[in-house]
């Protein structure tokens, strides 16, 4: 039987690779020339002699080593191999560690990132790292309950970030759904929080939706005394009502003034990564008024790749704030009208005042078709109808600007063939 004094004094004799000091019941302390002292328990399982490491002395005392030996002996008496049982326990611990919310979320991010835009993927992970990982990141998925997730989202609400809280409820749901699919958990608690968060007061981007106000806006743009390039960009934003990012990035190589069409490459459109790589370009018919504006602008910016270049460098498009600042100079605040608001203005007035068919307008707006197979099977672009629509829209805006009588309300259009 060993004593604490004997364990403290144990050393490996010179010239030996190791020395063993036996205790009782198969327990012994092994010393090495390096000075290490390790506990082992020798036992037999399946007619084979085996040994189980129980730790290093003095981190594991003599008393603790005997306790570990007795526990291992009970495992052996139950018919299990203590060494195999320890391997299983280590694997289970590794699985539990790999099943934490953070580990599963990062795995999901790696799995999905190739199908997400770079900006979306970075923002997705950034929100997680800031607001969820610090609180529920180390917790295994099966142990996260709806109240636990709600408590975490409440912390985000308390700082006034309601929209972020709602977004992260959905994002957390993605992680749990992935966890269910990969066998890490059995259910997703995120849907249980529906209605538990403070409601969102969704505020749409400001837009002018009345004909008289639209006419006043067009007069303000027509009389704009700032940069002529900015004035043209505002006019074309009203005539073409494309997304502000696409308007800023318009290039002369994409514009065909003879065919009267602007071809926006698929990779510039607001689409999934797959859609950007494999989708068709978005074709924007140009009304005669739009063509005239572009012809007049070409002598000013034709030396740049961009139709609306930056004042700082002709190799860059104008700043995203240029049109917004120009509208403020004209007296329109963010609560009155925004560059994105030209889309809502066109969509509303075309339907309510010109009776344009919504499908034709949606094609011009480059809105995706509804339904999982909509984009795959309904590829109608209504180019002929859109050419007529864009000409009529430009004429209508000119009538509103000059105060001429707008055209009488037409009969509703039949659905385009």
Query: Is 298 one of the annotated active-site residues of the chain?
Result: no
Which residues of the chain does CATH 1.10.150.130 include? 101-193
User: Among candidates 141, 151, 216, which has minimal Cα distance to 184?
Assistant: 141
Q: What is the mean pLDDT of residues 247-269?
A: 92
Number of H helices, E strands in the chain: 18, 7
DSSP state at residue 130: I
| DSSP per position, 364-395 | HHTPPPSSTTHHHH-----HHHHHHHHHHHHH
Least confident piece of the model among 15-19, 204-208, 254-258, 364-368: 204-208
Q: Which of 270, 324, 369, 399 is catalytic?
A: 270
Residue-level pLDDT at 380:
47
Distance CA 228, CA 300 (A): 9
Which homologous superfamily is 4-81 in? Answer: Integrase, DNA-binding domain (3.30.160.390)
Residue-level pLDDT at 254:
95
Query: Is 367 one of the annotated active-site residues of the chain?
Result: yes
Distance CA 91, CA 84 (A): 11
Question: Does residue 105 have a pLDDT over 50?
Answer: yes
Distance CA 382, CA 121 (A): 34
Strand-strand pairing, 19-22 and 27-31: antiparallel
Distance CA 378, CA 348 (A): 24
The answer to whether domain 101-193 has CATH 3.40.50.170 is no
User: 406 pLDDT band (50/70/90 cuts)?
Assistant: low
Q: Which of 243, 282, 357, 386 is catalytic?
A: 243
Q: Which residue has the tokens 């069409």?
A: 261
Query: Is 243 one of the annotated active-site residues of the chain?
Result: yes
Q: Which of 271, 282, 343, 386 is catalytic?
A: 343
Question: Does residue 382 have a pLDDT over 90?
Answer: no
Q: Which residue has the tokens 């209605």?
A: 195
pLDDT tens for each residue of 337-352? 999 999 999 999 999 9
Q: What is the phi/psi pair of residue 241, to 5°?
A: 40, 50
Q: What is the mean pLDDT of residues 186-214?
A: 84
pTM: 0.57
Query: Is 90 one of the annotated active-site residues of the chain?
Result: no
Q: What is the phi/psi pair of residue 317, to 5°?
A: -75, 165
Question: Does residue 204 have a pLDDT over 70?
Answer: no
Cis peptide before 28 (omega within 30 of 0): no
Q: Which of 166, 231, 271, 340 is catalytic?
A: 340
Question: Does residue 413 have a pLDDT over 50?
Answer: no
Q: Which of 44, 367, 409, 410 is catalytic?
A: 367
Which residues of the chain does CATH 1.10.443.10 include? 211-402
Residue-level pLDDT at 46:
83
Which residues of the chain does CATH 3.30.160.390 include? 4-81
Which homologous superfamily is 211-402 in? Answer: Intergrase catalytic core (1.10.443.10)
User: Among candidates 287, 317, 270, which has minimal Cα distance to 391?
Assistant: 287
Identify whether the C-beta of residue 129 lies closer than 8 Å to the C-beta of residue 120.
Answer: no
Query: Is 343 one of the annotated active-site residues of the chain?
Result: yes
Question: Does residue 374 have a pLDDT over 70?
Answer: no
- The whole-angstrom distance between residue 220's C-alpha and the CA centroid of its chain comes to 38
Q: What is the mean pLDDT of residues 382-388?
A: 90
Q: What kind and span of H or E run contains 44?
A: strand 37-45
Q: Which of 377, 379, 411, 415 is catalytic?
A: 377
Query: Is 270 one of the annotated active-site residues of the chain?
Result: yes
Q: Which two tokens stand for residue 72?
A: 């291992």
Q: What is the mean pLDDT of residues 105-111?
A: 94
């Amino acid at each position: 039987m060993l004593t604490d004094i004997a364990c403290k004094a144990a050393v490996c004799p010179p010239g030996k690779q190791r020395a063993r000091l036996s205790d009782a019941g198969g327990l012994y302390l092994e010393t090495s020339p390096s000075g290490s002292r390790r506990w082992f328990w020798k036992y037999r399982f399946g007619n084979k002699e085996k040994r189980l490491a129980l730790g290093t002395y003095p981190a594991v005392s003599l008393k603790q080593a005997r306790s570990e030996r007795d526990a291992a002996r009970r495992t052996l008496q139950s018919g299990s191999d203590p060494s195999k049982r320890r391997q299983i326990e280590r694997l289970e611990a590794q699985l539990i560690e790999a099943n934490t919310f953070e580990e599963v979320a990062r795995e999901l991010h790696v799995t999905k990132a190739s199908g997400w835009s770079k900006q979306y993927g970075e923002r997705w992970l950034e929100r997680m790292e800031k607001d969820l990982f610090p609180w529920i990141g180390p917790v295994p998925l099966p142990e996260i309950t709806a109240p636990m997730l709600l408590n975490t989202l409440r912390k985000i609400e308390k700082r006034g970030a309601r929209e972020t809280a709602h977004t992260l409820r959905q994002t957390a749901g993605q992680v749990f759904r992935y966890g269910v699919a990969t066998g890490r958990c059995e259910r997703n608690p995120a849907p249980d929080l529906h209605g538990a968060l403070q409601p969102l007061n969704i505020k749409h981007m400001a837009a002018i939706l009345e004909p008289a106000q639209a006419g006043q806006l067009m007069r303000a743009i027509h009389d704009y005394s700032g940069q002529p390039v900015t004035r043209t960009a505002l006019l074309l934003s009203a005539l073409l009502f494309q997304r502000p990012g696409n308007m800023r990035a318009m290039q002369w190589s994409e514009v065909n003034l003879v065919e009267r069409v602007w071809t926006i490459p698929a990779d510039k459109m607001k689409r999934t990564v797959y859609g950007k790589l494999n989708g068709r370009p978005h074709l924007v018919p140009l009304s005669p008024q739009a063509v005239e504006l572009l012809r007049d602008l070409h002598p000013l910016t034709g030396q740049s790749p961009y139709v609306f270049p930056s004042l700082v460098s002709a190799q860059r498009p104008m700043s995203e704030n240029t049109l917004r600042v120009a509208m403020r100079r004209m007296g329109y605040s963010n609560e009155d009208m925004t560059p994105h608001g030209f889309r809502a203005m066109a969509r509303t007035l075309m339907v309510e005042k010109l009776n344009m068919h919504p499908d034709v307008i949606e094609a011009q707006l480059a809105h995706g078709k509804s339904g999982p197979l909509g984009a795959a099977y309904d590829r109608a672009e209504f180019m002929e109808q859109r050419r007529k629509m864009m000409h009529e829209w430009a004429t209508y805006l000119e009538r509103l600007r000059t105060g001429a009588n707008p055209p009488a309300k037409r009969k509703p259009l039949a659905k385009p063939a």
